[in-house]
Amino acid sequence: MDIITLIKEFTPRTDLQQNSKDGILNQLNQYGEKLYDRDMLHGHMTASAIILNPQLDKILMVHHNIYDSYAWPGGHSDGEEDLYRVAYEEAKEETGVEKLYPISRNIISMESLPVKEHMKNGKQVKAHDHYNVTFGFICSEKEQLKIKPDENKSVNWIDIEKLDQYCEEEEMIPIYQDNIHHIQYLMKEKRKNYEKLPERLLHWYKKNARQLPWRRDQDPYHIWLSEIMLQQTRVDTVIDYYHRFLEVFPTIYDLANADIERVLKLWEGLGYYSRARNLHKTAKIILERYEGKFPRNYKELLTLPGIGSYTAGAIGSISFNLPVAAVDGNVLRVISRITEDYRCIDHESIKKEIGENLEEVYPKDQCGDFTQSLMELGATICLPNGVPLCHQCPVKDICMANKNGTQEFLPVRKKKTARKEQQKTIFVFNVQGKIALQRREEKCVLEGMWELPNVEGILEKREVSSYMEQLGIFRYRIEKSKKGQHIFTHIKWEMVCYYIQCEETFGAYIWADTEALEKEYSIPTAFKKFLNSK
């Protein structure tokens, strides 16, 4: 939208803004595009940025040399008619921040501001007017700040309650305060969209929900099993595992009475094996403590191994119609976009607040459908990485990110830390078709799982020979080697595997034949990929 249209659509909140709007439109009608050039000595167009933190209680300001006061960042249009872009770029340049999130592309305020005579780059600049438009932004306080030495003395976050202690231009304080209050109002209004969600989502969900096996009933065992499997795992992968698991353990009694090795074997390939161990533990607790029936109380659900707030919310709302939210990454993304909330969703306090806000609008007798409608929207429409299918969205009319074109900025996440890399040498010791296995003792990833023998670091062939001698094995044949890698959430393994034929068993290993490998021992994918190698 062009700046003239934005100015015309701006609704003044004060007499100053009304007079400024009338004056700026008059100047633009009289001088046209010339007003965007600072060579217009009587006055010219500028753009400023009001920048608040996500909590809306601090403002980011620069100490301008010209005004000898803390003020908003901004700059001259210098021929650029896209004044939103001017405000955005000048704010980043003057403060040093890398990420600024727009509150909207609309003008927040409008001012005709007198500028006193001053020196600029060694030249005398006569007094003139700035015909200024202001845009609002959100910025994290964790962003690194830096000054622009030729213009600013410092850049700081200032408590909005202490603004008058930092701003030496008394006439600007009410302007800043009005902008701050307006932004706070806009953000508060955005959060009212919670109230509009149930009506829109429930109708859409009934017509568009995917037919998934765990949606056929509200059995808490089925809901619990599916939610645990779906953690860190795609739906299309989970479906087959879900069916196989229930074929072997159709009830929670069957799971509770099962051997843990059988449970882990069925889980093989899903990863994150602590989930399977906690399933087994929880099944036993429910059998012993609750006579095989899931507790219907949210707080009691939270006491069970492997059940956090999200899973407890899913079970409670879907199985027992409790108004408790299940807030995962999908739901956080949906809500942060609908309300255009720029606070970091990785903070537990924000996650908790979103859950509480949702619970206030849970529809009576439709809690399960509402929970699943939010999940469904995030999984199928409000997709991550800035590519949501907004044209298909049932809440596009109330979504503030859709309205303001800010989907790509949301949700705000912490910067991901680089994965730690580890190197390993894996051994497939083969004695007449039997393969050596050992129990993993490391107190970290894959703890307690069966693994192929391995050592830290990448060994060359000659080093493997030395290692075999250390084991007391002298009659063997290195048949081949193969490289591979496996990526966990926070770790990446770079591996080389040596396939070694030995004449007799040795060490404290378990020696398993092909049938045992397939049916008895659960071997994580990181190692099993080498067993499947030809």
**Contacts (Cβ under 8 Å, ≥6 apart) of 448:** 273, 277, 439, 440, 441
Q: CA quadruple 258, 259, 262, 263: dihedral positive or negative?
A: positive
Longest CA pairwise span in the chain (Å): 97
Q: How far apart are CA 70 and CA 168, in angstroms?
A: 7
Q: Which residue has the higher pLDDT, 89 or 385?
A: 89
Q: Is the pLDDT of residue 534 over 60?
A: no
Q: Is the pLDDT of residue 127 over 80?
A: no
Q: Which residue has the higher pLDDT, 135 or 192?
A: 135
Looking at residue 118, what is its pLDDT?
58
Q: How far apart are CA 494 and CA 44, in angstroms?
A: 60
Following DSSP, what letter does each residue of 72-93 receive, concatenated? --EEE-TT---HHHHHHHHHHH
Per-residue pLDDT band for 157 (boundaries 50, 70, 90) equals very high
358-416 per-position pLDDT tens digit:
999 999 999 999 999 999 999 999 999 878 999 999 999 999 999 888 898 899 888 87
Looking at residue 242, what is its pLDDT?
96
Give the mean pLDDT of 340-369: 92
Domains with residue ranges and CATH for the chain: 3-189 (3.90.79.10), 197-409 (1.10.340.30), 420-531 (3.90.79.10)
Annotation says 227 is catalytic: yes
Q: How far apart are CA 190 and CA 183, in angstroms?
A: 11
Beta carbons of 424 and 488 less than 8 angstroms apart: no
Q: Is the pLDDT of residue 232 over 80?
A: yes
Looking at residue 443, what is its pLDDT?
66
Looking at residue 359, what is its pLDDT?
94
Looking at residue 424, what is its pLDDT?
93
DSSP 480: E
Write down the residue that tokens 């039997």 correspond to.
434
Per-residue pLDDT band for 119 (boundaries 50, 70, 90) equals low
Q: How far apart are CA 413 and CA 415, in angstroms?
A: 6
Looking at residue 121, what is its pLDDT?
59
Q: Which residue has the higher pLDDT, 103 or 354?
A: 354
Give the mean pLDDT of 282-303: 95
158-209 per-position pLDDT tens digit:
999 999 899 888 889 999 999 999 999 888 888 788 999 999 999 999 999 9
Q: Is the pLDDT of residue 125 over 70?
A: no
Following DSSP, what letter does each residue of 356-410 receive, concatenated? HHHHTTPPTT-HHHHHHHHHHHHHHTS-STT---GGG-TTTTT-HHHHHT-GGG-
The single residue of 90, 94, 111, 227 carrying the catalytic annotation is 227
Q: How far apart are CA 373 and CA 202, in angstroms?
A: 6
Q: Report angle CA 479, 481, 482 to the nearest 5 degrees.
A: 145
Q: CA quadruple 426, 432, 433, 436: dihedral positive or negative?
A: negative
